[in-house]
Amino acid sequence: MRGSSSRRSTPRSPTGSGCVALSASESDVPTRPVVGLTTYLQQAQSGVWDVHASFLPGIYLDGVTLAGGIATLLPPQPVDADIAARVTDGLDGLIITGGRDVDPAAYGHDAHPSTDEPARDRDAWEFALLAAALRRGMPVLGICRGVQVLNVALGGTLLADIASQRPGAINHRRLDQRSEIVHEVLLTPESLLSKITGGHSLGVNSTHHQAVARVAGPLRVAATSRDGIIEGLELKPGAARMLPFLLGVQFHPERLVKRHREHRAIFAAFVQACARNGKFDL
């Protein structure tokens, strides 16, 4: 748990140039960190049941457990600052997962015709968890919707619909190829994401129709697609001194961890930071 003084240092990985190795061995992650993952809360079917349920695709758990972490699910529930604080007391890191669109009212915009029906309970829960995690200096990873939650929570806005509002953009909603590399993103030099993956560009999957518009004040762009759509955010260098690991990506690395080293490296660096109170090897 957080504040533990029993963690041993983790040896630097020999894998690749600046690329963190994925390993579940105890020598790499001496104290397996507990990582909380936010979940869906919507209608679902299982056996004879067709009910309102909390669930999350198992590939998210793979990303954490293959990197040596312990995954625990955080379903939406009535929001209370004390509840969020108590929950994060038991965590070493937080992943805000993918899902439906953030309610545009949260960043002062009207709904676009393509906007999903809002999941305000989930929005409020994730905003509360994120606030509690940031107060603790806890490592945070946002995936797809998650990077948008990070940006909105910290004061940024979203592009409601790429296809209609950026007509020159590529197709970013490739649902039939969600587990495949479909386009390239350019990584900001010296960014956390470029150091983790060990390169200047990264092949990614793409299933989103929204994107970051105005970047929140504490954040900077870590990656963009060639059409200018923001694909990654992280803390500005000054803020990063106080919170070493906060990263949001618009793509889904959890779908690519078993076949692509660079995407494994994202989870490896995050889990290592969780195990070592925000510190990790690059």
Which residues sit opposite 248 in a β-bridge? 142, 233
Distances (CA, A) of 49 to 53, 56, 168, 261: 10, 17, 44, 38
Compute the distance between CA of residue 130 and CA of residue 85 in angstroms, rounded to an integer: 10
Helix (H, G, I), strand (E, B) or coil at 137: coil
* Neighbouring-strand partners of residue 94: 36, 140
Catalytic positions, written as ranges: 144, 252, 254
Asked whether the beta carbons of 260 and 227 are under 8 A apart, the reply is no
H/E stretch holding 87: helix 81-89
Beta carbons of 187 and 197 less than 8 angstroms apart = yes
